[in-house]
Amino acid sequence: MNLLAKTLQGLEDVLAEELKALGAKRIKVLKRAVEFEGDKTLLYRANLELRTAIRILMPIKTFRVRHESALYSKIKSIDWTSYMGLKETFAIDATIHSPYFNHSKYVALKSKDAIADQFREKFDRRPNVNIINPSLRINIHINDDNCIVSLDSSGDSLHRRAYRQEKVEAPINEVLAAGMILLSGWKRDCLFMDAMCGSGTLAIEAALYAYNIPPQWQRDYFCFKKWRDFDPQLWASIRATAESNFRKHEFPILASDLDFKAVRITERNILTADIEGKIEVERKKFEKVEPPQQKGILMLNPPYDERLAIKDIKAFYSEIGDKLKNSFAGYEAWIISSNLPALKSIGLRPSRKISLYNGTLECKFLKFEMYDGSKKTNRKPREDHAPEA
């Protein structure tokens, strides 16, 4: 069957790699999505194991449409009774990029009416809408006059991992965190450190990846489990195989933050993720952190002076740069921020620049290779420019 995995802008290629590793066929990279072909096993595995997917859709009908009345008739022509009964519930999400339709909410409402009317005409009654926890979540996507109707097999966004019960003020999206780790090319063969860990998202995603634990290992709710063709034996065997593929990991994963509350939240989230003992957590100012090994990956999501205000953001980033130069020789340091002038103040030349979005904020995810003094220097000459926009 034809399937579609949605993701965040900038993560399409890593998602395609993840799908390839799961055995997906006919992989096609689109904007914020990857199309692929697979069977029911792959559909279940994609939901459980993909680290960079937001949701997995199964398209059931595609048609051209330019008017609300035509949309109503086309939606009504789908046999919804083959997907749900009167006792089940449904919800509709609509996204539109079209000159023919103005409001996604209205498209969702029209579609809901079409489905409800089909049931009423057949049975005099209709299934209820439940937007939180429906049995069937329907996705309507209209691009220009091309409409794709899909069933949403995930139900709730896959970025909502079950472990993050608590968060700091500006937490990073879990899918973005996992994507950053995969984009960094970390082979799980050295230390991983987040020294501004906030709620611990980067370190927890790193640990799940390091030990090969599926990102949704703790999650119970997936819409496909409510579908009529749900195969509980297949699901159980997929989980059993995933568990047998958990791996050992011998390198430290470290999380630290200057804030007491952040450290406490990180520790609680680690407990909820059931990976106690796999991450060392410490309350420490980054300026005081000394890496315990000669080689590793340091990943930082510092305040941008947007949601978390900082008095002198340029001086703060300049101190980060000084610390990298003084203590992190042998490390690859990755920093994400939307604050380009502040990033420039780090005073080091990035060897990679990747554009990503943290919510609505356009960010740069920069790699700094920290050589020790005797080797090639990566200090920026004075006249160097800001990262490419």
Ligand X SMILES: C[S@@+](CC[C@H](N)C(=O)[O-])C[C@H]1O[C@@H](n2cnc3c(N)ncnc32)[C@H](O)[C@@H]1O
- Structure token digits, residue 274: 């059931």
Nearer to ligand X, 198 or 291 (CB): 198
Nearer to ligand X, 22 or 361 (CB): 361
CB of 185 to ligand X, least distance (A): 20
**What are the residues binding ligand X (CB under 6 A)?**
167-168, 170-172, 195-196, 198-199, 201-202, 257-259, 262, 285-287, 301-303, 308
Nearer to ligand X, 38 or 171 (CB): 171
CB of 367 to ligand X, least distance (A): 17
- Structure token digits, residue 271: 């407990």
* 54: phi then psi, degrees, rounded to nearest 5: -95, -40
Helix, strand or coil for residue 244?
A: helix
| 351 closest CA partner among 326, 327, 374, 332 | 332
H or E stretch including 2? strand 2-6
Long-range contacts of 234-239 (CB under 8 A, 24+ apart): 234/40, 234/41, 234/44, 235/44, 238/41, 238/44, 238/45, 238/48, 239/48
CB 361 within 8 A of CB 306: yes
Using CB atoms within 10 Å of the CB of residue 261, give its burial: 0 to 12 exposed, 13 to 18 middle, 19+ buried. middle
CB of 84 to ligand X, least distance (A): 37
CB of 341 to ligand X, least distance (A): 17
CB of 202 to ligand X, least distance (A): 6
Q: Which residue number has the CB closest to ligand X?
A: 198
